[in-house]
Amino acid sequence: MTLYHTAIADILIQLNEKSPQKAILVEGKSAVTVHEIYKDAVQIALQLQLQGFKVGDCVAIAAPPNATFVKIMYGLIFLKATVAIIDPEMGRDNYHAKLKQLNPKWAFVDARLLLLQEHPILRYLHFKKSKTAPYFPPTSTAQIIACGGWLPLFQKKIFLNNWFKKPIHPVFKWQQESLSEETSATPHDFLITYTSGTIAEPKGVVHSFHSLLNSLKLIGNQLDTNKENLIATYLPHYMLIGFSVNMPSILYNPTLTAVEKLTFFNKHQVTTIMGPPSDFVPMIAHCEQTKTLFPTSMQHILLGSAPVTRRFLERLCAVLPLHTRITCLYGMTENLLVATIDGRFKKDYDCEGDLLGKIAAGVTVKIEADEILIHSNQLFTRYFHLKERPEFHETGDLGIFDNNHLLILQGRKKDMIIRRNFNIYPSIYEATINRMEGITEAVLVGVYDDIIHDEKVYLIIEGAADLDKKTILNQLKMGIYAIDTEALPDEILFRTLPRSGRQHKVNKTMLRDLIKLEN
């Protein structure tokens, strides 16, 4: 039996050789060692081979981001599998469409989701409680491996925990890959991550071992690798980034209240947090209200996955210890790291648009027709439904370089609002509006109006209860928050912004649909 000793597999293999008993992951009250993850990952790989697994087989993962998830990922790396991770918050219709496109041969599924498949009453109560609740639809083509504790499942399933109880298969060898993926004409398709897209044509971004490894290294280089450092996360890719630089991770529940999160970070002396700005807003609000600061253990906050506004940074800096570094990351699923900037520097940098910063090592950026195009050794290999991609990836982001050679985001092509022949790029103005006192986040959207035969511009604001339309509109017309007259909103609405996905990005499509329904 053969397992593959690839460059990305070396991260765990070398860690196991150097410090097997190091606690690399803390989950609840349990500390998981490097060797435990290595041993169980090898066991997963060997047991899959005994079940008939072949190199390149497609595997879907619908398991929670925990230690078991990491073991599964490394087991599949050892096998040179093709792995698909589908965000369950994308909705059941999207889930069905993506599984149909993938047609996986294997699926690691949380046993609780399998229980819902088999018990109609539980399923009814589950969906009655939450329309967006995760669910793994039945499939007859994939061999299911149930993750988590034992549950009374009627259909025949393999329980992953039973594999961990077996002895390691005595006859297996490592095959060291002789050909680097960097020089290979056909890099191995390893990871498929789905972005938002239409149900008719799901958009699966395919990364090779090589591109993913380069991304892990570049983002890992942003971290301080002091032996006392500890990353707090609830997302699996942040755990893998920690692994890449031998930094332990501690898992926390993202549904904790602001007070519970801050208490957790202080109790465990967390030094590093990575996440989107929306994760921090409730904690900032709590600190503002109680006139307190984040725990003094906090050394570094890395922000990404969504725009990081100057107003947000002003609020964050005010409640952080002075020694806490802030790094803002700009990237996308297709190329995980494009540019970085120090958050405290960005807060005070005067520019029209969203400052993205310095281009990351190994990334080439060019601007064509105002659009940011990128090429790098992190770049994805293709979209799953297409055979190839262009040399330069069209990001859909509009940008410029300023006189200091810093990249500045000017908006999104698809977000562009056309009103009275005037092109409105929302993100340029959102960056200004979000700096207003009392505003947590504000977005501009255009909704076509059949009566005026033009787009109406809506400003939707999430923030303090005492905000009023007249004051905001006056500030938009004159003063430090003034925006172009052509971009002034037709209507201002106050509401909680709909967010979706693990990164909790504002869902502008859903927002437009809500506005259409209400009008």
Looking at 3.30.300.30, 3.30.70.360, 3.10.20.30, 2.60.40.1170, the CATH number of the domain 417-518 comes to 3.30.300.30
- Which residues, other chains included, contact 90 with Cβ-Cβ below 8 Å and sequence gap of 6+? 98, 194, 196, 500, 501
What is the enclosing helix (H) or strand (E) of 515? helix 508-518
Dihedral sign for Cα 186, 188, 189, 191, please.
negative
**What is d(CA 47, CA 4) in angstroms, rounded to the nearest whole number?**
15
pLDDT above 70 for 103: yes
Q: If you average pLDDT over every residue of the chain, what do you get?
A: 87
Any idea which residue has 């997302």 for tokens? 235
Query: 500 with 482: CB under 8 angstroms?
Result: no
Location of structure tokens 């009374």 = 152
**Residue 65 near residue 275, CB atoms below 8 Å:** no
pLDDT over 90 (residue 444): yes
Collect contacts of 295-299 with beta carbons under 8 A, ≥24 apart: 295/262, 295/265, 295/266, 295/269, 295/270, 296/321, 297/265, 297/266, 297/269, 297/270, 297/271, 298/265, 298/270, 298/271, 298/272, 298/273, 298/324, 299/224, 299/229, 299/271, 299/272, 299/323, 299/324, 299/325
* Contact in structure between 399 and 407 (CB atoms under 8 Å): yes
Q: What is the pLDDT of residue 453?
A: 60
**pLDDT confidence of 270, banded at 50, 70, 90?**
very high
pLDDT band (50, 70, 90) for residue 132: low
Please state, in angstroms and as integers, the Cα–Cα distance from residue 275 to each residue in 158, 278, 326, following that order.
34, 8, 12
Separation of alpha carbons 111 and 240, rounded Å: 24
Q: For residue 441, give both structure tokens.
A: 């986040």
CATH number of 2-178, picked from 3.40.50.980, 1.10.490.10, 2.40.160.40, 3.40.50.1220: 3.40.50.980
Q: Does residue 414 surpass a pLDDT of 70?
A: yes
pLDDT (tens digit, 9 = 90+) per residue, 81-91? 999 987 655 55
| Amino acid identity at 81 | A
Distances (CA, A) of 4 to 15, 32, 85: 16, 24, 21
**Which of 54-58, 371-375, 444-448, 484-488 has the least mean pLDDT?**
484-488
Max mean pLDDT among 199-208, 314-323, 347-356 falls in 314-323
Digit-coded pLDDT (tens) for 59-97: 999 888 889 999 999 999 999 999 998 765 555 566 777
Looking at residue 198, its pLDDT comes to 40
Amino acid letter at 131?
A: K
Strand, coil or helix: 236: helix
419, two tokens: 């009103």
pLDDT tens per residue across span 347-402? 999 888 889 999 999 999 999 988 999 999 999 999 998 888 999 999 989 899 99
Alpha carbon distance 456, 489 (integer Å): 8
Whether 155 has a pLDDT exceeding 90, the answer reads no
- The per-residue pLDDT for 197 is 44
Q: Give the pLDDT confidence score for residue 178 in this predicted structure.
A: 53
pLDDT exceeds 70 at position 196: no
SS3 (DSSP) at 145: strand
Out of 3.40.50.720, 1.20.1260.10, 3.40.630.30, 3.40.50.12780, select the CATH number for domain 212-377+391-412: 3.40.50.12780
Q: Burial-class residue 412 by CB neighbours within 10 Å (0-12, 13-18, 19+).
A: middle
Task: Judge whether 407 and 366 are in contact, CB under 8 Å.
Answer: no
pLDDT of amino acid 88: 56
What is each CA distance from 450 to 340, 447, 455, 479, in whole angstroms? 43, 10, 9, 34
Contacts of 136 (CB under 8 A, 6+ apart): 62, 88, 95, 107, 109, 110, 113, 114, 116, 117
Residue 167: band (very low, low, confident or very high) from pLDDT cuts 50, 70, 90: confident
How many CB atoms within 10 Å of residue 468?
11
Q: Please state, as a whole number, how many other Cβ atoms lie within 10 Å of the Cβ of residue 225.
A: 10
In the chain, % of residues over pLDDT 70: 91
Q: What is the pLDDT of residues 236-253, one digit of tens each?
A: 778 888 888 889 999 999
pLDDT for 276 equals 83
Going from the C-alpha of 274 to that of each of 213, 354, 443, 502, the distances in angstroms are 18, 20, 24, 13
Given the DSSP bridges, would you call strands 363-368 and 371-376 parallel, antiparallel or unpaired?
A: antiparallel
Query: Contact, 273 vs 298, CB < 8 A?
Result: yes
Enumerate the domain spans of the chain.
2-178, 212-377+391-412, 417-518
Give per-residue pLDDT as tens, 9-28. 999 999 999 999 999 999 88
In CATH terms, are 2-178 and 212-377+391-412 the same topology?
A: yes
Q: What is the pTM of this model?
A: 0.79
Cβ count within 10 A of residue 349: 16
Distance of CA 45 to the CA centre of its chain: 26
